[in-house]
Amino acid sequence: MIVSTDFQNVYTRTESVHTDKRSNRIYKRLFDVLIASLVTLLVLVWLIPLVGLAIKLTSPGPILFIQLRTGRYGRAFRCFKFRTMTHEASKKFAQVTRNDPAITPIGQFLRKNSLDELPQFLNVLMGEMSVVGPRPHAVDHDKEFWSIIPYYPNRYAVRPGITGLAQVRGARGLTETTQKMARRVRYDLHYIKNRSLLLDVLICWWTIKTVFQGDENVW
């Protein structure tokens, strides 16, 4: 599924600013597979059953929340998360707000500690996401900003990430205004133009620090 028919032209303009060497793409993919494999083997193999049981005991419905999100080149993919809201609420498209009554008790804990995103390491292993990159937005969410924020589609010149520069620089969470989304996009485009394996490692480190220190934009 392509979100925009002129995406290829936008992608070409983005790549003209930063041409990725083939070796850099290989190193990044190896980094992604290494990190995702370690997280899957050391964490997800026991966390998914444990969290899944907690979700089932506190709220009827599936363990995972699976949503169509925009990926590289504007192609939609099925993005995995632990379900943090009631099953009925998760069927509807809406950004989650602070103190949203639809968030379940276990969901509140998962969201506050950024654990709900961990199943996306499976998306990384499948080649749909990267460990670091612009966060993927829901397809319906993209339609709101695709044509009104300059260079918005350029953020899909690379694989979307579990974390990104915008997330460690305070542009995480609810984007209910065009100004907030535009700020996130500026960070995303800066990352795309300056991406490197070293920057990915630094963003991973900053992400870990943010998780332990807390983030006011996460609830």
**Higher per-residue confidence, 208 vs 11:** 208
Q: What is the pTM of this model?
A: 0.84
CA angle 26, 32, 34 (to 5 degrees): 100
Q: Give the pLDDT mean for 35-62.
A: 95
Q: Which two tokens stand for residue 51?
A: 């969290």
CB contact set of 153 (below 8 Å; sequence gap of 6+): 3, 4, 7, 10, 11, 74, 146
Phi, psi (rounded to 5 degrees) for 205: -65, -45
pLDDT tier for residue 215 given thresholds of 50, 70 and 90: low
One-letter amino acid for residue 198 of the chain? L
| pLDDT at residue 219, as a whole number | 41
Q: Beta 76-82 vs 64-70: how paired, if at all?
A: antiparallel
Q: Where are the domains of the chain?
A: 7-213
68 C-beta neighbours (distance < 10 Å), count: 15
For residue 121, which phi and psi values (nearest 5 degrees)? -65, -25
pLDDT band at 212 (very low <50, low <70, confident <90, very high): confident
What pLDDT shows up at residue 217? 56
The DSSP symbol for 192 reads H
Q: Is the confidence at residue 34, as pLDDT, over 80?
A: yes
Q: Quick: pLDDT tens for 129-148.
A: 999 999 999 888 788 888 88
